[in-house]
Amino acid sequence: MLMVRFAIAAALATMMLVVPAAAQQRPQIETRKVDGTDNVYIFRNGGHQSIFIVTKDGVIATDPIAYGRPTGGQQYVDEIKKVTDKPIKYLIYSHHHFDHIAGGKAFKEAGARIIGHKNIKPHLVATQDPFTVMPDEFFDGKKTINLGGTTLELIYLGPNHSDSNIVMRLPKEKLIFVVDTIPVGAFPGLGFIDMYPLETESFIKKVIALDWDRLIPGHPGQPNDRLGTKKDAEDVLTLMQEASAEIKKQAQEGKCWEPAVKDFQMPKYATMPGYQAGLNFVARRYCSLWGRGT
């Protein structure tokens, strides 16, 4: 009993020592310029991130990433103001999920025009989330924003992680910003809940075919906040194809949901961050597809 008590006390002491140190290393909010660019910044709030581009005629911002953080939108606006005194002209939504687009009110009040794919609208109309602002403008296909010498393309390539995810491409900088569909260096997880499995494979192939060198993800890349490459996109596609083929076999043997979901392993990826937690989400999504038809 004494030993147990000692072990618990030691574990608590370790936690108390470790947690504040880790928190100090990584502030909640961080803004950094993307290497090799003059004016592209990554804004991170906790485990979410988005980009903003500063031009001589104003700022193009993306995803407010303020879900569960009532002051997060204003904090993002304030971070932009530390970099430039130019007005925020646009706020672009990557897709409709609140963890990425809640918090737009502060941008709207700062005068930004909010733009998103047309499929965002029915989701926001249906849910009426009090913290998520409706776009001023919707587009389909492709829309190009030119501001102060910067070109930003907004490209819809079909359903993927949701039916409203777009690719944002900076052609001069050869950068793309893609949220949730192509994790960088991490095993897929929660993002699989309501994704479109077959369409996502063709989406990733279309993304790879675009002209770009580096991918900025909506959650920091692993390790060390790195950006992604085409190799990362190819690796995610391979992982999905392997998972899909394995569960398809199980499903057609009548093993979905159980035991297919419970027994699912991808040992090749076992050392990736998020592997254990993600297996269940991946297996369930493909069991839904191959074992149920949805």
CB atoms within 10 A of CB 238: 12
In degrees, rounded to 5, the angle at the alpha carbon of residue 263 between the alpha carbons of residues 257 and 264 is 85
Rounded-to-integer distance, Cα 155 and Cα 248, Å = 31
Shorter beta-carbon distance to Zn ion: residue 89 or 100: 100
CB of 217 to Zn ion, least distance (A): 11
222 in Cβ contact with 269 (< 8 Å): no
How buried is 111 (Cβ within 10 angstroms: 0-12 exposed, 13-18 middle, 19+ buried)? exposed
CB of 245 to Zn ion, least distance (A): 25
57 in Cβ contact with 86 (< 8 Å): yes
Closest residue to Zn ion, judged by C-beta, is 97
CB of 95 to Zn ion, least distance (A): 6
CB of 179 to Zn ion, least distance (A): 6
Rounded-to-integer distance, Cα 161 and Cα 191, Å = 7
Q: In sequence order, what DSSP letters do the residues of 162-177 get, joined into one string?
A: SSS--EEEETTTTEEE
Shorter beta-carbon distance to Zn ion: residue 100 or 214: 100
Shorter beta-carbon distance to Zn ion: residue 163 or 180: 180
CB of 132 to Zn ion, least distance (A): 13
CB of 51 to Zn ion, least distance (A): 16
Residues that bind Zn ion (CB under 5 A): 97, 180
Only one residue has tokens 């499995």, namely 197
Q: In sequence order, what DSSP letters do the residues of 136-169 get, joined into one string?
A: SEEE-SEEEEEETTEEEEEE--S-SSSSS--EEE
CB of 165 to Zn ion, least distance (A): 7
CB of 22 to Zn ion, least distance (A): 26
Shorter beta-carbon distance to Zn ion: residue 180 or 246: 180
Distances (CA, A) of 9 to 2, 15, 20, 22: 10, 10, 17, 20
Shorter beta-carbon distance to Zn ion: residue 63 or 173: 63
Shorter beta-carbon distance to Zn ion: residue 101 or 133: 101
Shorter beta-carbon distance to Zn ion: residue 51 or 110: 51
Rounded-to-integer distance, Cα 223 and Cα 231, Å = 15
Rounded-to-integer distance, Cα 92 and Cα 79, Å = 17
Classified as helix, coil or strand, 199 is helix
Positive or negative: CA dihedral 120, 125, 127, 129: positive
Shorter beta-carbon distance to Zn ion: residue 105 or 219: 219
